[in-house]
Amino acid sequence: MDKIKFATVWLAGCSGCHMSFLDLDEWLIDLAAAVDVVFSPVGCDLKTYPDGVDVCLVEGAIANQENLELIYDVRRKTKLLISFGDCAVTANVPAMRNMLGSSSAVLKRAYLELGDVTPQLPDEPGIVPELLDRVVPVHEVVPVDIFMPGCPPSADRIRATLEPLLKGEMPVMEGRSMIKFG
Amino acid sequence: MSVKTLTIDGTAIAIEEGATILQAAKEAGVPIPTLCHLEGVSDVGACRLCLVEVKGINKLLPACVTEVAEGMDIQTNTEKLQTYRRMTVELLFAEGNHVCSVCVANNNCELQDVAVQVGMDHSRFTYRFPDRGVDISHKQFGIDHNRCILCTRCVRVCDEVEGAHVWDVAQRGAACYIVSGLNQPWGEVDACTSCGKCVDACPTGAIFRKGDTTAEKIGDRAKLEFLVTAREQQKWTR
């Protein structure tokens, strides 16, 4: 049997979920034996998301044009998409800018009103991705198969989610140890 | 005093007239999730988490404000109720701005606990991201309306236990919010005795002690029950 093709992506989040993933310590060796890491900011050097991915952990909310394009790509090419952590599940801290209103209000606040030295709006089309007007959780954009809340989800929770998948079973996302937010 | 007999989830129970379904369930050891209920103050049926099914009645009834009646056949945990409870909690999360990871009450929050209890791993409803305020004009405490679920426990504890009635509810519908005094900054309300009972009554991180940061609000909710027992039954131990 071919190895499971495993990916992780990092959208609008702080990378804390990926740090927690690295906290799996020795179990990462077992995981590496069971899967092929085909795309990941912490486990692979590829820059384009490949076809035919079996399982993908998605960290972060959808906050800009690049996040949006990548998540559509990920959904199209992935069998099982996991919302990985509170930013993916609820939009969490990145979405606190939604209270200010549109993206222009946010940019104005951050780069003009709070800009101490040469305040100016960032404008590099094609290089700096445009902000979306609203930061949204992943499932508001594409269908999600498994929700793994937590800020970040503990290494134990990540392992308890992934381990059944390696055996072809679905994890049971129930109880404080699996679904507590924060 | 007359006694009513009824069944809860198939178990026969006898309880005095005037008791609520919630009290009867508690006596029978049947857990019903609640948020706005607080031992020691009156019930208002604000959160709708304790909804139960009563045979022969076509709508769901809040257990905390429904009195028991002779022969009632009550179900507390049907599939229909589980669906509604989870929906209620999802709506609470989508309505306000509940960011657990940066909240004073993280790990000590009744809303967070109830989300786990009803099995909520995400909200199916679109988050509103309302523009709500924070009042830190009081010298010891603050209120963050983003985290408020309008359970009105602060309103009731301040009125019924402390007797100060600093808090009340203003506006209607989605615009509802908790006001202090005559819609003044909390720090300017003379009636406030700074007793802190509202801080202990608050199920979330909406009312907090200044200086508490993420996950540092550790509530002492049993204190309110203790105060009421002390006052009513002159029992000063716990």
Tell me, yes or no, if A161 comes closer than 8 A to chain B by beta carbon: no
Partner B contacted by A109 (CB < 8 A): no
Decide if A95 and B102 are in contact by the 8 Å CB cutoff: no
With contact defined as beta carbons under 8 Å apart, do B97 and B206 qualify?
no
DSSP B124-146: -SPP------EE--SSSEEEEGG
| Residue A165 backbone dihedrals phi, psi, to 5 degrees | -60, -35
Distance CA B125, CA A112 (A): 34
CA B59 to chain centroid: 22
User: Across the interface, which of A86, A99, A144 has its CB nearest the CB of B129?
Assistant: A99
Query: What global pTM score does this model have?
Result: 0.94
| Per-residue model confidence as pLDDT tens digits over A56-98 | 999 999 999 999 999 999 999 999 999 999 999 999 999 999 9
CB contacts < 8 A, A to B, total 67
pLDDT in tens, B78-126: 999 999 999 999 999 999 999 999 999 999 999 999 999 999 999 999 9
Which residue in A91, A147, A151 is closest to B121 by CB distance?
A147
Do residues B77 and B63 make contact, with C-beta atoms less than 8 angstroms apart?
Answer: no
Interface predicted TM-score (ipTM) of this complex, two decimals: 0.93
Residue B6 Cα, gap to closest chain A Cα (Å)? 31
Phi, psi of A140 (to 5 degrees): -80, -10
> Which residues in chain A have Cβ-Cβ distances shorter than 8 Å to B93?
90
In this prediction, what percent of chain A has a pLDDT beyond 70?
99
Closest residue to B115, CB basis, from A139, A173, A181: A181
- Chain A residues with CB-CB distance to B217 below 8 A: none
CB contact under 8 A, A95 and B103: no
Q: Between the CA of residue B117 and those of A176, B85, B127, B224, what are the distances in Å? A: 8, 10, 21, 24
Mean pLDDT of A25-48: 94
| Alpha-helix runs per DSSP H in chain B | 21-27, 79-95, 110-117, 153-157, 197-201, 222-233
| Cα–Cα distance, B25 to B70 (Å, whole number) | 15
pLDDT at site A1: 59
Distance between CA B3 and CA A144 in Å, rounded?
A: 52
Tens of pLDDT along B112-162?
Answer: 999 999 999 999 999 999 999 999 999 999 999 999 999 999 999 999 999
The tens digit of pLDDT for each residue in B171-190 reads: 999 899 999 999 999 999 99
Q: For residue B238, is pLDDT > 90?
A: no
- The span from the CA of B131 to the CA of B91, in Å, is 17
> Residue B3 class from Cβ within 10 Å (0-12 exposed, 13-18 middle, 19+ buried)?
exposed
Task: Pick the residue from chain A with its C-alpha nearest to B101.
Answer: A182
